[in-house]
Amino acid sequence: MTFRQLQRRFLLYMVVVVIALWVLVPLALIALAAFTPRLELYQWPRPVLPSGFSTATMSFFLRSYGTLTSLRNSALVALLTLGMTLAVGAPAGYAVARYVFRGREAFRIGILMTRMFPTSLLAIPLIVTFIRWQLYDTLIGVAFIHTAMALPFAVLITSGIFSGVPKELEEAAMTLGCSRLGAFVRVALPLALPGLAAAAMFTFVISWNEVFASAILTVRNRTLPAQVLTSLEVAPLDFRFAGGFFMIIPALIFMALARRYLFQMWGGAISER
Amino acid sequence: MPRTPALRSLASEKALPYWLILPTIAYVAVFFLVPVVQALLLAFRTQDGQWTTRFLVRMVQDIQFVSALRFTLLLLAIIVPLQLVTALFIALLVNTRFRGSRTFLYICAIPLGISDLAAGLIWFSLFTQHGYINSFLYGLGIIERPIFFLSAQNTGWVLGSIVLAEHWRATAIVLVILVAGLQMISRDYLEAAEVFGARSWQRLWHVTLPLLKPSLQSALIIRTILALQMFAVVVAMGGRMVPVLAGEAYYWYYLYRNTNVASAYALLLMVISALLAWGYLRFLRPREVRP
């Protein structure tokens, strides 16, 4: 390796490390804040590194009024969303992956377009509709709009996953006596399972993270982000830091598990090359 | 291939794909069309069914309206180009496939999983009065007293903090779209260009970027529309000091319980989104790549 190449490589890794730190340092700092002794957060001058490790901030957050309930609500809404999204979207993903049919391209582009629609804003007119349908301030109501948000992504990811399962395997199973459904359940489904799990995790994260619609469509049955958002005006610093830290943990875990499928979710352009 | 009964049934399943996409179409129809129609009714009709522009007028004349519109468009104009350039830079860096580039890509994609509210709170912990940035500057001996980054007197600082937080949070979306696009570009084109003696920046300008145009277009549309809805980051960092349109829609319902004006805001945002998306599709149309 020449000196020039060495120099370039050094420069490359310098840039890479700086960018990685830009992403990682704020995460480390909020974790640090969440475990800093409560009173130290208000001191001036405040040392960057806390004097000791304390769980008081976190337990204050978890014991605050409404936190645990909203946590449970968030988990329930996310699970409902996950179930509905996959039940509605996965068949469509399978159809796009397996069949050539009239209107497939139109359907695909339609899905890409809905992915771009500012769906969370629909929460506002939905207030009136939901009151009429008795869905206002219910967890299932929030899950309905979260499903509308997650659906295009679910269709895109699942169609990517089923495209990766060779059609020939299902056909072989059918020649060996499986029914159409049997071939799907016994052959395609097991092979697609890891990908479907990833799709499920992304759906969960979309719902878990959503703030705007949840805050608008609930009053007493708040999800965690809605609960944190509506307490911001009165919340002390430690509540906010602990809340911020707490919200990102499940998201980070799922992202780490499902990272390989990120590109199916966001790839795909409207205009053809 | 011999046509067994099972295979014939697969071939005759003409209707099946339509049955499979039907639930999605029905769901989208109900959960997109119903609220859009409802939004129109709320924004343009009174309780007793009279058509009116009263709510629209009320929105436009509200003291926060002009500044919300201005701040939203300003943030959009700063953040979107900045993110596009950063994401393109990182995507091209990843595409050189240096050792460790996969790990690097995943680290850069982490913020994709973080909610806008959490991101706002993270950056609030940095910029607040006794936050990390002030502590750090004090530690270096640069300041004696904390700087009030997030106060109504310093809209510039608040705006800058929001830009940083949004840049940190949402560049990953653009990045992932661009990386997915770069992966689809066949290496053959680049190798051909190299054979004909194109330098690396010429290959970038004349081969990679034109082929990446569809992905750039998608990324721009998605990012612009998401930036128009910017809400929780702004609220977490600045409350209503820097008003934005989505925030006003929220406050008109949350504080004033006025679904009519809130709907007018929602419609306005949808119209701006549609116009910008149309503009991107119309004016950034990928040219035919001639061989």
- CATH number of domain containing B174: 1.10.3720.10
At B126-160, the pLDDT tens digits run 998 888 998 888 888 888 888 888 888 888 999 99
Residues A37 and A119 in one domain: no
- Shortest distance between the Cα of A251 and any Cα of chain B, in A, equals 5
pLDDT tens-digit readout, A29-78? 999 999 988 888 888 778 778 888 888 888 889 988 889 999 999 999 99
Does residue B13 lie within any of the structural domains? no
| Number of structural domains chain A divides into | 2
Chain mean pLDDT for chain B: 89
**In this complex, is the C-beta atom of B256 within 8 Å of any C-beta atom belonging to chain A?**
no
- Residue B58 domain flag: yes
Asked if A150 reaches chain B (Cβ–Cβ under 8 Å), the answer is no
Decide if A269 and B211 are in contact by the 8 Å CB cutoff: no
In chain B, the residue whose alpha carbon lies closest to the alpha carbon of A227 is: B117
Q: pLDDT of B65-81, one tens digit each?
A: 999 999 999 999 999 99
Does any domain span residue B109?
yes
Q: Residue B130: which of A43, A171, A216 has the nearest Cβ? A: A43
Half-sphere exposure of A52 toward its Cβ, with a 13 Å CA cutoff? 6
Per-residue pLDDT tens digits for A257-268: 887 777 766 665
Give the model confidence (pLDDT) of B225-260 as tens digits.
Answer: 999 999 999 999 988 889 999 999 999 999 999 999
Q: Residue B36 falls within a domain, yes or no?
A: no
**CA nearest A87: which of A168, A200, A173?**
A200
ipTM: 0.89
CA A6 to chain centre: 40
Nearest to A180 among B9, B24, B36 (CB): B9
Q: A195-248 pLDDT, tens per residue?
A: 899 889 989 999 999 999 999 999 999 999 999 999 988 888 889 999 999 999
A229 found inside a domain: yes
Task: Assess whether A48 and A69 both reside in one domain.
Answer: no
Q: Which domain holds residue B90?
A: 53-183+216-283
| pLDDT range class, residue A160, cuts 50, 70, 90 | confident
* Domain of residue A185, CATH code: 1.10.3720.10
The pTM of the full predicted model, rounded to 2 decimals, is 0.90
- Sign for the CA dihedral angle at B270, B271, B272, B274 comes to positive
Q: Same domain, yes or no, for A91 and A121? A: yes
Asked if residue B121 is part of any domain, the answer here is: yes
User: Given an 8 Å threshold on Cβ–Cβ distance, is B20 in contact with A22?
Assistant: no
Q: A72 to chain B nearest CA, in Å?
A: 18
Phi/psi-derived region of residue B97, left when phi > 0, alpha when psi is between -120 and 50, beta in every other case: left
What count of other Cβ atoms lies within 10 Å of the Cβ of residue A180? 15
Within 8 A of A177 by CB-CB distance, chain B residues are: 6
| A237 and A125 inside one domain | yes
B24: pLDDT confidence band, cut at 50, 70 and 90? very high
Residue A163 C-beta-side C-alpha neighbours within 13 Å: 12
Examine the domain organization and report whether A82 and A34 are in the same domain.
Answer: no
- Residue span of the structural domain in which A195 resides: 65-266
What is the four-CA torsion angle of A204, A207, A208, A209, rounded to 10 degrees? Answer: 120
CB contact under 8 A, B24 and A91: yes
Residues A202 and A90 in one domain: yes
Whether residues A38 and A115 share a domain: the answer is no
Q: B201 is written with which tokens? A: 């920046």
Chain B contact present for A91, CB below 8 A:
yes
Residues A145 and A120 in one domain: yes
Could you tell me if B269 lies within 8 Å of chain A, comparing CB atoms?
Answer: yes
